[in-house]
Amino acid sequence: MTDSTAKLEFRGQTHEFKVRAGTVGPDVIDIASLYATTGAFTYDPGFTSTASCESEITFIDGDAGILLHRGYPIDQLAEHGDFLEVCYLLLYGELPTKAQKDDFDHRVTRHTMVHEQMSRFFTGFRRDAHPMAVMCGVVGALSAFYHDSTDISDPHQRMVASIRLIAKMPTIAAMAYKYHIGQPFVYPKNELNFAANFLHMCFAVPCEEYKVNPVLARAMERIFILHADHEQNASTSTVRLAGSSGANPFACIAAGIACLWGPAHGGANEAALNMLSEIGHVDRIPEFVARAKDKNDPFRLMGFGHRVYKNYDPRAKIMQKTTHEVLGELGIKDDPMLDVAMELERIALTDEYFIEKKLYPNIDFYSGITLKALGFPTTMFTVLFALARTVGWIAQWKEMIEDPRQKIGRPRQLYTGAAERDYLPIAKR
């Protein structure tokens, strides 16, 4: 990586800052010394032009619609890999050998059960509580049950906590679903792979044998791979910032879940499906497209647009293919929701407004149709996103914690409030 410099003229002085180049992607101007040398801050609400860290995990080229995990294109990983293989790659930087994969699978599989007392934790929630609210509470409570892996200065405890989180998220997610629908919890089965075990815990009932459909299990694995990591998105940045204070990994992941819940982020998959069902029929699409373009209408096309992708989200293409695979396997010939989605995409991609603003379908546009076809209620969609993204959050947290330059994140501000003034007794106000 070659270095050069950038010059800043400020209040009659010239300041020079180092420019660093990455392996690929935009250069960065290192402004760490800016405040000390100029007395001024940079100002970038929403961090549209700010690199918050250096990372080797995931690279996105938004203009080209490229997503790499440790250099491997997402379409190759989704096509050929399984979810735990991608977890290993994100955590350790290389694809595992057979022996490494078998050992990793073994370690994760044997951490899938949760402390039996956690099942009583659920009974405190109303049955109709949103499963994401339950996930925020239960995952945050993990540090109360697994205190022996909360010392972040101990590499062994960091590894155990990472494996526990990856392994237990499907179990907790399935428990949140079963509690929501009033069915008994189903324990993990060690002979099933990651996605098949999750589907079994969600859809098996004690009264009869439940055989997981291998085509649907493969589709579930691929959906998890597509959601695994995505560089410094809002929830990952939340996890990094929480982790920078030394908070334990269970608390950091709970913070990531809370941030992911927002409809502008991971909550968009639930919002996108609700939007498609509100549109209901292709005849009503023009009405909603007009609302999305209307500056005075807060309505946005959920599942469209992205801070980084100004091209088609590569995950959306794979998700669309998976949607057709799942609907085909389930014999769902004409899903009105899919008809609306396909026609909405066609109209939006030819509409001047969307072309000019480079708004394309993102991963959340098709995922809802697929997850609904798999049998999940819309309230579970973001839970599945959180389940898959846990490995990305953990890998990014691990990278931050292991960086010797790591320090607590503490942004500054542009203060536009009142200047100093004296207290006025109430009688004089």
Catalytic residues: 306, 364
Q: Which two tokens stand for residue 333?
A: 């010939």
* Pairwise CA distance, residues 121 & 144, whole Å: 11
The single-letter code of the amino acid at 59 is F
Stated length of the chain: 429
Q: Which two tokens stand for residue 125?
A: 């929630």
Stretch that binds ligand SDX, among 49-57, 179-187, 194-202, 258-266 (CB under 6 A): 258-266
Number of residues interacting with ligand SDX: please give it, by CB under 6 A.
Answer: 21
Q: Of 302, 338, 373, 395, which one interacts with ligand SDX (CB under 6 A)?
A: 302
CB-wise, 186 or 255, nearer to ligand SDX? Answer: 255
Stretch that binds ligand SDX, among 163-171, 180-188, 197-205, 303-311 (CB under 6 A): 303-311
For ligand SDX, the binding residues in 211-250 under the rule CB under 6 A are 230, 233
CB-wise, 146 or 304, nearer to ligand SDX? Answer: 304
Q: Could you tell me the smallest distance in angstroms from the CB atom of residue 156 to ligand SDX?
A: 30
Q: Could you tell me the smallest distance in angstroms from the CB atom of residue 283 to ligand SDX?
A: 20
Q: Could you tell me the smallest distance in angstroms from the CB atom of residue 170 to ligand SDX?
A: 19
Q: Of 131, 303, 314, 368, which one interacts with ligand SDX (CB under 6 A)?
A: 303
Stretch that binds ligand SDX, among 178-186, 273-281, 304-312, 397-405 (CB under 6 A): 304-312
Stretch that binds ligand SDX, among 35-43, 74-82, 190-198, 295-303 (CB under 6 A): 295-303
Told to check if 268 binds ligand SDX by CB under 6 A, we report yes
For ligand SDX, the binding residues in 175-214 under the rule CB under 6 A are none
* Pairwise CA distance, residues 148 & 54, whole Å: 30
- What value, to the nearest 5°, has the Cα angle with vertex 177 and ends 274 and 276? 10
Q: Could you tell me the smallest distance in angstroms from the CB atom of residue 229 to ligand SDX?
A: 8
Told to check if 81 binds ligand SDX by CB under 6 A, we report no
For ligand SDX, the binding residues in 308-327 under the rule CB under 6 A are 308
Told to check if 292 binds ligand SDX by CB under 6 A, we report yes
Q: Could you tell me the smallest distance in angstroms from the CB atom of residue 269 to ligand SDX?
A: 8
CB-wise, 246 or 286, nearer to ligand SDX? Answer: 286
Q: Which two tokens stand for residue 318?
A: 């794979």
Binding-site ranges for ligand SDX (CB under 6 A): 230, 233, 264-266, 268, 292, 300-308, 357, 359, 362-364
